[in-house]
Chain A
Amino acid sequence: MTDTETVETTETTETVEKVEKVEKLIQPDLQFAKDVVAAGGDSLKKCYQCATCTVVCNVTPEDNPFPRKEMVQAQWGLKDELYSNPDIWLCHQCSDCTAYCPRGAKPGEVLGAIRKMSLQEFATPSILSKLVGSPSGLLVLLALPVVILLGLISAFGNFPSKLPLGDEIVYAEFAPTLLAIDLPFTIAFFFALAMFFLGIKNYWGAMAEGKKLSGSVIASIKGVIVEILTHTRFDKCDLIPKRKISHMLLLYSFLILAVATGIGFAREWGHLLGMELEHPLYIPMKILGNIGAVALLLGLAIVITNRFAKAAQLGLGSYFDWLLILVISTVAVTGTMAELLRIGNYAPVAYWVYFIHLVSVFFLFAYAPYSKMAHMLYRATAMVFSKMTGRNGA
């Protein structure tokens, strides 16, 4: 078959498709539109659909681009259209759209709010989504790790009034590794993993319904991983300074810290099995941990500075955004402080700082499927899905 013939065939198919296109029944949902507004999309209704956002967006596919269509879908409360649509996650919130919007509708912020609602819709159980989603849930969420950890410490460890037992600060004397750390954190980790699995499964199901998937799963996942590791999509976001660097710092610091934690976990079990181990600062685990901490702190510093510097133009961000930023900041700051206080041997504060660190780490892990942290899996899933449906630019 010659090239010309191929083209002709395609055209015919398209024509047939057009003719056969049936009316779609639209079901406007006022409550959903109100929810988007309440979830941080308060500028949603300002949009008058001029499509400037879509034109200035650097990351959208050219065919059936975003974010204008998402804006109008949200205005009409078309929940299912939005939730089953990978595009809301292809958006990386560079905020060009928000900066250029002639009506101050802030599409970037609105899509952020929709993403929040989307992942909370798919996450299970929904009670946790609700608690993470609004400031009123914060105390309950904090109470859970505080109660668990305090309980375990009082049962198996020592309260700071009796510490340190020797000359130096040993956090394991405060919270015994096996029973006060590994036990609750492993449970939290696997809980989060399981909940993520369920949420992503729901999400995939919603996206895939009635759609033809053509690409290979393995190749798509591989492509997405490379894209995430290289952050190529962030190259197109130039409005917010150093956004690529700050996000990469955060991503890589998490990866480094994960490796360091893995090593620590292995060493700990070695210790339990009778190996004699010292933890001087020059061993790989400590070096990696410290590099990770510095990278994390630096990344956070850039993120927070940018938020404030661009607040007038792009908005300060929602509670949902800030909850994650603050939790990670707490993890990073208390982690670093706990180490410094241990080295400096300043017992009166050290244990409580360490305690806050434990609570914040628990918070970060256990609630990850419901917090903005979940974006890593939802966005990755959406990217894989887009590749498999042949969405260009994805």
Chain B
Amino acid sequence: MEKDFGVYICKGCGIADMVDVEKLVSDVASNTKVPAEKFKVLDIACSPEGVEAIKADVSGGVNTVTIAACSPRVKFEEFDLPGCIVERANIREFCAWSQEKATEETPEEYHPQMTATDYVTMGIVKTQKVDLPEPNILEDLSKTIMVVGGGTAGLTAALDAAAAGYDVVIVEKEAELGGYGAKLYKQAPMEHPYEELEEPIVFKKIKEVEANDRIKVYTSAKIDKTEGQPGLFDVTVSTNGSSETFKAGAIVLAAGWKPYDATKLTHLGYGKPNVITSLELEEIAKKGKIVRPSDGKAAKKVAFIQCAGSRDPEHLPYCSSFCCATSLKQARYVREADDDAAAYIFYKDVRTPGQTEIFYKNMQNDPGVMLTKAEVTGISEAPGGNLFVEAEDTLLGEKIKVEADLVVLAVGVVPNTREYQEYQDNLTLESSKGDAAKNAFLEANPEPEGILGLTYKQGPELPSLEGGYGFADSNFICFQYETRRTGIYAAGMVRQPMTMADAANDATGAALKAIQCVEHVAQGIAVHPRAWDTTFPDPLMTKCTSCKRCTDECPFGAIDEDEKGTPFFKINRCRRCGTCMGACPERIVYFKDFSVDIVGSMLKSIEVPDEGFRVLVLACENDAYPAIDTAAFRGKKIHPAVRIIPVRCLGATNLVWVADSFSRGMDGLLLLGCKFGEDYQCHFVKGSELADNRFSKVQDTLDRLQLEADRCQMIQVGINDYDKIPDIIGEFVGKIEDVFGPNPFKGF
């Protein structure tokens, strides 16, 4: 494409009060070699007249547009110019609103004029390097959605996806559909008025699924392997000895859970004849009478022990979410069977999320349902096959015991993804100790059966999350259902502990994500979170050394290796964060509008003054950049020494930019990225953590330049830190000014 440049400088929103726009035009024109006649100064660029002026030029042949006005995070509809390369130089937030108005005393290097000049120059330099992206649409894409698991969540996801017009394949490992829902005598209410027990909803859903032509069901089935990428998964399923392969576009993982192993709960009496789990009580209730296993006598005093193994650091540290409602429901079984029978519920806290709170209130009103907060300390045997529940810190006394003829342990949830994740984590841990430890581990621990059988370089199952306890959750409130494998969406108990009503809702959400996935890959755009992005990583493979850093680091396992160990991208798995670009020591990965060269050229175009300081801030565009925008919007001032360049993710930061910055004379480099660790905020899960890891090794680079390592620092900020961010930046610049002084390379 022959580039025809157009640069538009807005005078509105106070820009013209801070900056001499005529001087801005002449300075930038001389910096960038774009002739001054290509520049237009607009009173208000986003006004109909302003937009009209830009569009008139575009019709006249301009195709590479730099708009020096407000933040790219606003006014994107006004400045949407299809077919053009568009760059927004943010001189409103980063200059007009966040700098002090110049006075006679203002030194030249801290003058808003210089700030604006740098930002507009960088904008044009970027457009000079950018190519107009074209979507990369792969062939033979499938829009079929595979649902793994035929329980409440899986059936709901299948029905919803089918109702939206997509073909669905359900893969269920059991011989029958229904999951745990089908094992229940009754279910806690899911319908208004949320007070009465209901027939398990799965039976209705099974019928609907069986009657639906769009849904194909495999029962007694196991997934042997899942190859490929979103839109192009090849799934091989074996049922009763025969195997079959089909194509799927996206996957809903509703693989469910199992109850925590009650044999580990001997401290709560499991193993004694009349101590059972809630699931065992369902089996008894299904047979018609609430009787105890030891002698078949009707149970009249039934004790329910909540959090049996849950919220217990020795067992499951988390709340399993549904057990309180389950025990209240089972208390109803007891009460319905006999009005003189009582249910004693010992709880840590009653947690009945959503509408189950109404059910709780209703059950609580029944005099035969007696509840107390308690720490159950043990179960001992009482005469006649009865049991004493021993508890402390109760509301009835400090130490009490209550006689019951049946004790029900409300055991918690273990997601079916956990076993493999644990195995994988332990294997990684042992491998880090050397081959001997690894081999010993492999010998002692047979590989557990997986669920998905992915043929990914990074492993056959979903990777574990720190603090995720084996669940397949994205562990972040903004990205529900998303897992670290693009195109695979978790729903129900496998995602987090939840009630059946929540599992059904969850399934709808996951089905919608799966639909988003197949539709986006059909358009050749990133699935999420950069759901508009038509660019994709395009490595110059001839220069690849097969060092495998990209295949290791990609947070989404998007890069596999061929037989020779050469990486290759599965584009539809890619989320376009650029972590591979940051990782690549050969700097061969580039996007059409984002590359090592583009950012490098931008930072090199910043004028480094002889006097004063210049500090480069590489800001994550998901959190840090909006936080700076917000600070500016609120009138907070940002140190005039800084220049800010947004990056897709801090994980995309290549070490060469450090060398570039300091060799250009920058006095400091500040990296603002998202929080990582257990409560991570990174849009790309691991990006900021990988960047931190990478920059912890920057010492070598700076040592080579004979510079202090602390001139380069990474700080974790959240989008809500807008009120702190000016001070964070100010303190960093202050440290450079006071402690390190000017970069000795300045002027070279």
CB distance from A325 to the nearest CB of B (A): 28
CB distance from A104 to the nearest CB of B (A): 10
* Minimum CB–CB distance for A139 against chain B, Å: 30
In the docked arrangement, what's the CA distance between A22 and B399, Å? 7
Question: For B366, what are the chain A residues with a Cβ–Cβ distance below 8 Å?
Answer: 45
Contact of A45 among B364, B395, B401 (CB under 8 A): B364
Q: Number of A residues whose C-beta is below 8 Å from B?
A: 27
Residue of chain B at shortest CB distance from A78: B396
Check A24–B401 contact: CB distance below 8 A.
yes
Asked if A24 contacts B395 (CB within 8 A), the reply is: no
Is B367 close to A, CB under 8 A? yes
**Is A359 in contact with chain B by the CB < 8 A criterion?**
no
Residues of B within 8 A of A28 (CB): 301, 342, 344, 370, 402
Task: Give chain B residues whose Cβ lies under 8 Å from the Cβ of A78.
Answer: 396
Contact A23 B367 (CB under 8 A): no
The answer to whether B395 and A72 touch across the interface, beta carbons within 8 angstroms, is: yes
Does A46 sit within 8 A of B, measured CB to CB? yes
| Secondary structure of the B contact surface, majority rule | strand
Q: Chain A residues near B473: list those with CB within 8 A.
A: none
Q: Count of A-B contacts with CB under 8 A?
A: 71
Of B340, B390, B396, B402, most buried by chain A (CB within 10 Å of CB) is B396
Q: Determine whether the beta carbon of B364 is less than 8 Å from that of A30.
A: no
Does B284 sit at the interface, judged by CB under 8 A? no
Taken together as a complex, chains A and B put the C-alpha atoms of A46 and B371 apart, in Å, by 11
Q: Across the interface, do B365 and A46 meet the contact criterion of CB distance under 8 Å?
A: yes
Residue B397 lies at the interface, judged by CB distance under 8 Å to chain A: yes
- Evaluate contact between B399 and A45: CB separation under 8 angstroms: no
A30 touches B340 (CB 8 A): yes
Q: Are B370 and A75 in contact (CB under 8 A)?
A: yes
Chain B residue at smallest Cβ distance from A72: B395
Number of interface residues of B (CB under 8 A): 27
Q: Decide if B350 is an interface residue (CB 8 Å cutoff).
A: yes
Give the distance to chain A from B419, nearest Cβ to Cβ, in Å.
Answer: 37
Q: Does A48 contact B (CB under 8 A)?
A: yes
> Are B396 and A45 in touch, CB under 8 angstroms?
no
A-facing mask of B315-351, CB < 8 A → 1, else 0? 0000000000000000000000000101010000010
Pairwise interchain contact A21-B398, C-beta atoms closer than 8 A: yes
Q: Which residue of A lies closest to B397 (CB)?
A: A24
Binary flags per residue of B428-459, CB closer than 8 Å to A gives 1, else 0: 00000000000000000000000000000000
Quick one: given A23-B390, A46-B365, are A72 and B401 in contact (CB under 8 Å)? no
Contact between B340 and A24, CB atoms less than 8 A apart: no
- List of A residues within 8 angstroms of B365 by Cβ: 45-46
Question: Do B396 and A30 touch (CB < 8 A)?
Answer: no
Interface core residue of A22, A24, A26, A73 (most chain B CB under 10 Å): A26
Residue of A nearest to B360 (CB): A48
Residues of B within 8 A of A46 (CB): 361, 364-365
Chain B residues positioned under 8 Å from A22 (CB to CB): 399
* CB of B399 to closest CB in A, whole Å: 5
One of B364, B395, B398, B403 near A25 (C-beta < 8 A): B403
Give the docked Cα–Cα distance between A37 and B369 (Å).
13
Is the Cβ of B367 less than 8 Å from the Cβ of A33? yes
List residues of chain A with CB within 8 A of the CB of B371. Answer: 48-49, 75
Q: Is B372 an interface residue (CB 8 A)?
A: yes
Is residue A286 within 8 Å, beta carbon to beta carbon, of the partner chain? no
Of B344, B365, B366, most A-chain CB atoms within 10 Å: B365
Residues 356-368 of B, flagged 1 when their CB comes within 8 A of A and 0 if not, give 0000010011111
CA–CA, A23 and B374, complex, Å: 13
Q: How far is the CB of B733 from chain A (nearest CB, A)?
A: 51
Residue A307, interface by CB 8 Å: no
B114 interfacial contact with A, CB 8 Å: no
The residue in chain A whose Cβ has the minimal distance to the Cβ of B340 is A30
Q: Tell me the nearest residue of chain B to A30, going by C-beta.
A: B342
Q: Contacts A45-B367, A48-B364 hold; do A23 and B340 have CB atoms under 8 A apart? A: no
CB of B373 closer than 8 Å to a CB of A: yes
The residue on B at minimum CB distance from A45 is: B365
Residues of chain A within 8 A (CB-CB) of B301 are 28
Name A43's closest neighbour in chain B (CB-CB).
Answer: B365
Q: Tell whether B645 is near chain A: CB-to-CB under 8 Å.
A: no
Q: Could you say which residues of chain B place their CB within 8 Å of the CB of A34?
A: 367
Closest to B364 in A: A45
Q: How far is the CB of B613 from chain A (nearest CB, A)?
A: 58
Complex Cα distance, B183 from A387, in Å, reads 59
Instruction: Kindly identify, within residues 235 to 277 of chain A, every residue whose CB is under 8 Å from any CB belonging to chain B.
Output: none
| Nearest chain B CB to A255 CB, angstrom units | 41
Which residues of the partner chain A approach B388 to less than 8 Å between Cβ atoms? 25
| B370 and A25 contacting across the interface, CB-CB below 8 Å | no
A-B contact pairs, 24 of them (CB 8 A): A22-B399, A23-B390, A23-B399, A23-B401, A25-B401, A26-B402, A30-B342, A30-B367, A31-B340, A33-B367, A33-B370, A45-B364, A45-B365, A45-B366, A46-B361, A46-B365, A48-B364, A49-B371, A68-B395, A75-B367, A76-B396, A77-B367, A78-B396, A103-B361
* Complex A-B, nearest 9 residue pairs according to Cβ-Cβ distance, in ascending order: A33-B367, A72-B395, A45-B365, A23-B399, A23-B401, A30-B342, A26-B400, A26-B402, A76-B370
B residues engaging A (CB < 8 A)? 301, 340, 342, 344, 350, 361, 364-373, 388, 390, 395-403
